[in-house]
Amino acid sequence: MKLSKNERDIHDLIEALGKKREPLVQKEALESLVKLRVSAVDFLIAALKDTRWSVRERAAVALGRIQHARAVDPLIHALKDADRRVEWAVAYALGEIGDARAVGPLIQILSEERCAVPREVVTALGKIGDPKAVDPLIEVLQDVTSNVRDEAAIALGMIGDARALRPLERVLDDDNKFVREAAAAALEMI
């Protein structure tokens, strides 16, 4: 099958995402793909299966910035990527798109021992704002890592569900100043 000039250009931009030693080229390719919006979505979805992590990562970021609902299911599938940089970018993209279909898979990833990017998953859940995420986010308030706890507090504030009030009040006594501040801000949001 012969590609049109526009399709060849998009293909070339996808290839440029993988130029490891040329970060400026990668950045310009990413920006160009985002500007193309819907016409680039299918190519970016296909790029989520590229053998190079850098292409998969940047494709996910571009899909998040484009925010097209057609990308949600392929991004959910890409949550299981073996590379944590890709997993981070996919969680970011799902949060940017804000589609509730991602809530269950994000909660599942968050509960797995292998979750390499809990902070970004928590952020995504907060951006999506689905009340189904409240109980898992309350559990995350007990995480050993303070930057995950503070992000969970913020996410709970963004969701705005009253079930989070008592757990957030308890976190006001956290050892970490940033967690306490995040909990206070979250309580103001609710």
- 20-46 pLDDT, tens per residue? 778 888 889 888 888 988 889 999 999
Domain ranges of the chain: 1-68, 98-190
pLDDT at 140: 94
Same-fold call for 1-68 versus 98-190 = yes
pLDDT at 71: 98
CATH architecture of structural domain 1-68: Alpha Horseshoe (1.25)
What fold is seen in the domain 98-190?
Leucine-rich Repeat Variant (1.25.10)
Q: What is the pLDDT of residues 125-172, one digit of tens each?
A: 999 999 999 999 999 999 889 999 999 999 999 999 999 999 999 999
pLDDT at 15: 87
User: Using CA atoms, how far apart are residues 96 and 73, in angstroms rounded to an integer?
Assistant: 14
pTM: 0.91
> Which tokens hold the place of 185?
């801000």
Residue 12, exposed/middle/buried by CB under 10 A (0-12, 13-18, 19+)? exposed
* Residues 164 and 186 sit within 8 Å (Cβ to Cβ): yes
pLDDT at 3: 58
Q: What percent of the chain has pLDDT over 90?
A: 75
